[in-house]
């Protein structure tokens, strides 16, 4: 299991680096005040209206970088640092979350697929590591069912890995929609656009690192299973 802990440590370090980089970028571009003077909430409201979406509400949610779109109650939830702020970072995040609302309204295929597997992911994410550990424990104890349980755990983990990769096109597409609208609607200056683009780039990298980390972990478990079969 030493290899697993080394891999987990590497993934943790890379994830921490990208997360901290995102926070620093958000802080940096929060200092670039929008010349149009609009807040994140106003940016979001205008983007929704420009895209013909009238049934989605823009609301404030506590915390930092807690922004998200909720398809169940059709709300764009903006963190306190985005909802009221009038800077390039706030504009980028607000527009990105509206990108998800537009995806929902247009039944974007990747978003639809992700929504369909959410229940399965909820189950697999809670059980996969437990089942894997139980399988390994049974194998060490000499149980004939150890490898079977281990394989079930791997299959459960594979579902969560699949989810992380399905999430990638959803997030990248939302950012592309956000940037295109910000530019085409003349909502930002060249400097503001560059800041918004860079902020969203680092936000997307958090999802990319999560997907690659999950894949690396999955392949490690698969290699362990194949090695135990031999």
State how far the Cα of 47 lies from the Cα of 152, in Å rounded to an integer: 45
Q: What is the pLDDT of residue 144?
A: 78
Roughly what angle, to the nearest 10 degrees, separates helices 146-184 and 190-229?
Answer: 170
Give pLDDT, residue 230. Answer: 52
Residues 6 or more apart in contact with residue 157 via CB below 8 angstroms? 124, 128, 129, 132, 214, 217, 218, 221
Structure tokens given for 178 = 């956000």
Strands 57-61, 68-70: pairing kind = unpaired
Q: State the number of CA atoms in the 13 A half-sphere of 186 facing the CB.
A: 0
- The pLDDT value recorded for residue 142 is 79
CB 15, CB 210: distance < 8 Å: yes
pLDDT for residue 229: 60
Q: What are residue 68's DSSP bridge partners?
A: 77
Number of domains composing the chain: 1
Full pLDDT tens readout for the chain, 230 residues: 677 778 888 899 999 999 999 999 989 999 999 999 999 999 999 999 999 999 999 999 998 889 999 999 999 999 988 999 999 999 999 999 999 999 999 999 999 999 999 999 999 999 999 999 999 999 888 787 889 999 999 999 999 999 999 999 999 999 999 999 999 999 999 999 999 999 999 999 999 999 999 999 999 999 989 886 65
Tokens of 44: 């979001």
Q: What angle do CA 130, 133, 134 make, to 5 degrees?
A: 85
8 Å CB contact between 165 and 113: no
For residues 61 and 150, give the distance between their C-alpha atoms in angstroms, rounded to a whole number: 40
DSSP structure string for 104-135 = HHTT-HHHHHHHHHHHHHHHHHHHHHHHHHHH
Q: Which DSSP helix (H) or strand (E) runs through 59?
A: strand 57-61
Q: Look up the pTM and report it.
A: 0.90
List the one residue out of 163, 151, 56 whose CA is nearest residue 103.
56
| Residue-range definition of the domain harbouring residue 16 | 2-229
């Amino acid at each position: 299991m030493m290899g697993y802990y080394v891999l987990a440590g590497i993934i943790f370090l890379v994830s921490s680096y990208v997360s901290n980089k995102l926070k620093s970028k958000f802080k940096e571009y929060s200092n670039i005040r929008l010349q149009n003077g609009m807040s994140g909430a106003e940016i979001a409201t205008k983007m929704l209206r420009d895209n013909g979406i009238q049934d989605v509400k823009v609301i404030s949610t506590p915390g930092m970088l807690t922004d998200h779109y909720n398809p169940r109650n059709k709300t764009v939830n903006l963190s306190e640092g985005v909802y009221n702020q009038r800077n390039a970072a706030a504009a980028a995040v607000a527009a990105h979350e509206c990108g998800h609302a537009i995806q929902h309204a247009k039944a974007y295929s990747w978003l639809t697929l992700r929504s369909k597997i959410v229940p399965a992911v909820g189950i697999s994410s809670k059980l996969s590591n437990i089942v894997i550990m139980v399988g390994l424990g049974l194998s060490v104890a000499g149980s004939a069912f150890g490898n079977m349980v281990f394989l079930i755990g791997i299959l459960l983990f594979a579902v969560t890995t699949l989810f992380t990769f399905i999430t990638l096109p959803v997030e990248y597409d939302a950012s592309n929609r956000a940037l295109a609208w910000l530019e085409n609607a003349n909502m930002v200056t060249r400097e503001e656009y560059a800041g918004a683009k860079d902020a969203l780039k680092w936000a997307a990298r958090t999802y990319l690192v999560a997907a690659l980390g999950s894949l690396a972990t999955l392949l490690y478990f698969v290699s362990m299973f194949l090695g135990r079969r031999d």
